[in-house]
Structure 1
């Protein structure tokens, strides 16, 4: 068996080709990673346009997430997200269970509220983005258990 012939030139050519391929892979992967979030079935149920901005809607349960721009994944600051759910205070139509928050510096948002309870057999929250800059998205994340104390829902928004 003969050993392969390597010299400085073949090494540089091989390393250059491998490096170019490695640089292209993350770019394509990132572009695919930031596809727009699709509206979930049932997400708009009991939606109330213009729900007021609130600091909190109760204690002990947290709805968290982040908002990114489709394509490049840039975090979106000062984006209004509406949140509502059936809680220990009452159903999804209860005004004390509806509120909006703004995203912070890194696109994150959080709202503390009363414990979410099962509605139609499932503990779930509703979240909406409905301002003019991006396409409207309604989410309805279902929690694995009614004893969970938080739920996370992220948005990737496409321009309107």
Structure 2
């Protein structure tokens, strides 16, 4: 009788394959059924400006990033308009220099560099909005843990209008 040969490498490769199959099996039905859409956050829409201009950046040193996906199948959405505004070192949320829109890339990601976000009503936070017609409108208001943070992330999962 021949005994199988196991060493650390064969164990890791086999274990990794089992884990990958388990993860794919668990994710398969979730993708087929879609993913939960992002819900609008209370207070997210104040100071919103429909059609805010597209900008390359609004300053230096602070980054707002995220991804935009379609709820029905989890696909990344390209050329989706996301509006971003916040109170920064340049002034409040109504300040035109703190307000602009960006388009998502092919992988659904977006990024906007701006001035440092500062606390407004006691909390450092940004405002983001899905700013187009093809999907239901969504407003986000992510709060940062600290005013010293140099970035904030906000993802959108959109449902067709």
Aligned to 1:119: 120
Aligned to 1:150: 151
Aligned to 1:56: 57
Supply the RMSD in Å over aligned alpha carbons: 1.7
Distance 1:96 1:76 in 2: 27
Instruction: Name the CA shift for 1:41/1:31 in 2 (closer, same or farther; >3 Å).
Output: farther
CA contact (8 A) 2:33 2:73 kept: no
Distance 2:51 2:23 in 1: 47
SS of the aligned residue for 2:31 comes to: helix
Distance 1:22 1:91 in 2: 45
Aligned-pair CA distance for 1:33: 6.6
Distance 2:158 2:23 in 1: 28
Matched pairs, number: 140
Aligned-pair CA distance for 1:26: 2.8
Encode CA deviations 1:105-160: one digit per residue, 9 max, x unaligned.
Answer: 10000000000000000000000003110000000000000000000000000000
Distance 2:101 2:132 in 1: 12
Q: Does structure 1 residue 26 correspond to structure 2 residue 44?
A: no
Distance 1:112 1:134 in 2: 25
SS of the aligned residue for 1:26 comes to: helix
Q: Where do 5+ consecutive residues of structure 2 fail to align?
A: 1-21
SS of the aligned residue for 1:109 comes to: strand
Aligned to 1:5: none
Distance 1:113 1:22 in 2: 37
Aligned-pair CA distance for 1:71: 2.1
Which range moves more in the overlay, 24-33 or 146-155? 24-33
Instruction: Name the CA shift for 1:45/1:25 in 2 (closer, same or farther; >3 Å).
Output: same
TM-score under structure 1 length normalisation: 0.83
TM-score under structure 2 length normalisation: 0.82
Instruction: Name the CA shift for 1:119/1:31 in 2 (closer, same or farther; >3 Å).
Output: farther
